[in-house]
Amino acid sequence: MARQEFDDSCQQKINIGLQNELTGHLNTRWAGQPVCVYDTIDSTNTECFRLAAEGAGHGTVVTAEEQTAGKGRRGRVWESPEGNNLYFSLLLRPTFAADKAPMLTLLIAMAVAEGVRRTTGLTLKIKWPNDLVLNGRKVCGILTEMRIVQKDTHTDKAAASNAPVVVIGVGVNVGYRTFPEELAAKATTLETVTGPKISRGVLLESILGAFEELYEEFIRTEDLSGCMEQYNALLVNLNREVTVLDPKGEYSGVARGINATGELLVQRSDGTVTEVFAGEVSVRGIYGYV
């Protein structure tokens, strides 16, 4: 399917009021060209893969007011009520090797922190690899998925191919809300701190703009060497003791930052440094979530 044709069919799915709110500020070059805006969708990540099979191109964004089957990491559910939150997924058709895709999660985490800073002045920290934290509580989660999307043979969409498609899904808690008891100590929202003044459209534009800048450097080097220092400066666990929940055995050490491929360097008590790969483990601060 030609790009213009796809853009037109994406437009037909759009809720105009929401579209104006969410895309009225968009001034990016390719990230968010186009944006498909839905009132309700099962999951913006799932919809991105469906659109990929129809030929949606690199940079397509899907966003929704509400998700009925929002997906979190490790098979968890991401509660996605309607209201003032930002749920979006960015579709990428990478030109680099598939094993480099996990680094994109770290890039988008930096882009969210930068987008929130530009929009609100708030400083978010990153809990490696990709949770965004505000005052010690999670304010944003990221789910990156990669699939080989089969060409849609019914419509023979030209843009579809059997190359891997990466979808990066971002859920930001924006509007003030209370959380169920089990989450109350671990989760927060941006407007809990700023008061009710955040434009989701400005926030989306700022995040996508920041991602474009980071991605362009990333495809030049195909690693995180250009932004490693920036990432480490945002790392909530930097030089703090962490517990690594490795299925092969839990251990503790001091987090020393990431390396150029995004692994967390954890220094054990005997001085040795382990490179922790995000796919296998999660990391906790020794006193709780961070």
Contacts to ligand BTN by CB under 6 A: 43-45, 67, 70-73, 76, 78, 87, 89, 141-143, 169-171
Residue 80 CA to residue 130 CA, distance in Å, equals 18
Q: How far is the CB of 88 from ligand BTN (least distance, A)?
A: 6
Residue 1 or 14 having the CB closest to ligand BTN: 14
Closer to ligand BTN by Cβ: residue 78 or 277: 78
Cβ 91 to ligand BTN shortest distance, Å: 12
Nearest approach, Cβ of 205 to ligand BTN (angstroms)?
17
Nearest approach in angstroms of CB 233 to ligand BTN is: 22
User: For residues 71 and 200, which CB has a smaller minimum distance to ligand BTN in the complex?
Assistant: 71
Which of 112/227 has CB closer to ligand BTN? 112
**Cβ proximity to ligand BTN, 30 vs 78, nearer residue:** 78
Distances (CA, A) of 33 to 27, 56, 199: 10, 10, 19
Q: Which is nearer to ligand BTN, 78 or 251 (CB)?
A: 78
Q: Is 289 exposed, middle or buried (0-12, 13-18, 19+ CB in 10 A)?
A: middle
Strand arrangement, sheet containing 241-245: 273-276, 264-267, 251-258, 241-245, 282-285
Complex with ligand BTN: residue 85 or 232, whichever CB lies closer: 85
Dist. CA 2–CA 60, nearest whole Å: 14
- How far apart are CB 4 and ligand BTN at their closest, in Å? 27
Say if residues 186 and 289 touch (Cβ distance below 8 Å). yes
Q: Closest CB to ligand BTN among 170 and 255?
A: 170
Angstrom distance (rounded) from CA 26 to CA 204: 8
Q: How far is the CB of 285 from ligand BTN (least distance, A)?
A: 16
**C-beta of residue 42 within 8 angstroms of C-beta of residue 68:** yes
Nearest residue by C-beta to ligand BTN? 141
Q: Closest distance between ligand BTN and the C-beta of residue 267, in Å?
A: 26
CB of 47 to ligand BTN, least distance (A): 9
Determine the residue type at 102. Answer: P
Q: Which residues contact 35 (CB under 8 A, 6 or more apart)?
A: 10, 19, 22, 23, 26, 60, 61, 62, 63, 204
